[in-house]
Amino acid sequence: MPAVYDSLKKHQGLSSHAAWRVSFIVPFILITATATGLLLLTEDTPTGKWSERANAVHPAHTAQQSVVSTTGGLDEKPAAAASISSGEEKKHTPGTPTGDVESATGEVQVIDGYQHEVIQKPTLKESMKVAFSLQTLFLCFCYFNSFGGELAINSILGSYYLKNFPYLGQTQSGRWAAMFGLLNVVTRPLGGFISDKIYGATNGNLWAKKLWICFVGVVAGIMCIVIGKVNSHDHDTMIGLVALMAIFLEAGNGANFSLVPHVHPHANGKPLSQPVSRSMLTRIKVFSPVSSAQ
């Protein structure tokens, strides 16, 4: 944006008053083109068209399907399928699919992989239970302080640089402020990557992820206090302090996303229109590993 602004002033002869307004035409074109491409060129949902969102199976596999039941509350985790020991006699009841599960032969009913993908209308009680649970509120609080803090800093950083370093001018101050956001390319995914690695190294201890997100949040907060107290007028010192703060603040945002799958995984969204009824859920069909392999 600073480059577009400079170009309009120097090469198009626009005043500063007009150039910064006209420069917004560029992101307007880019965002509109992207939105149009998403609307026309991509699938509506992970399973295809929005009108067919209740079908959790590709039409090519309709010949080999098993009807499964997906009854239960929005925040209830479906029961895990029972395993069959190779040394035991396999007992079957009428209507129970047969076959060797390990070799993926026969009809296998699949439920866990699709339970969280089915759009179902929750009751108000279910929605409130999920929305105001301590886990959800903690995640919201962390997001408010990571990404929310980033947005707040982004909105004022250019002016802050211009105040401390008037010789930079508006354009250069804006460019240095943009570096803060650009660091997200590395720092945000890094925060989630480290979170997952810590989780794996502690044998799936969820407290490891919680402690990590709290750690980066506290360090980012300390760095913000240091920057405010020092209020350096040395360019290199200030840029270094802001960059260091950005690493932890933006890593916290990635750590937040890493924690999301663990919070009510079977209540991962509230539909806004045309929800699938419970009666329809009992008719959802999914295909077996055999048909998917074929």
Condensed to tens digits (0 to 9), the pLDDT of residues 22-62 reads 999 999 999 999 999 999 998 887 777 877 777 655 444 44
In a domain, 99, yes or no: no
Query: What is the reported pLDDT for 127?
Result: 84
In a domain, 23, yes or no: yes
In a domain, 269, yes or no: no
Query: What is the reported pLDDT for 126?
Result: 83
The total number of residues written for the chain in this structure: 294
Tell me which residues of the chain have a pLDDT lower than 70.
55-121, 268-294
Query: What is the reported pLDDT for 247?
Result: 96
Query: What is the reported pLDDT for 269?
Result: 65
Bridge partner list, 276: 120
pTM: 0.62
Domain span holding position 236? 134-262
In a domain, 289, yes or no: no
In a domain, 192, yes or no: yes
Distance CA 202, CA 181 (A): 32
Query: What is the reported pLDDT for 118?
Result: 52
In a domain, 122, yes or no: no
Indicate the number of domains in the chain: 2
* Amino acid in the structure at residue 237: T
- 25 and 142, same domain (yes or no): no
In a domain, 268, yes or no: no
Query: What is the reported pLDDT for 45?
Result: 78
- 151 and 37, same domain (yes or no): no
Contact 165, 235 (CB under 8 A): yes
Closest CA to 257 of 136, 148, 139: 139
In a domain, 185, yes or no: yes
Query: Token pair 């260091």 is at which residue?
Result: 244
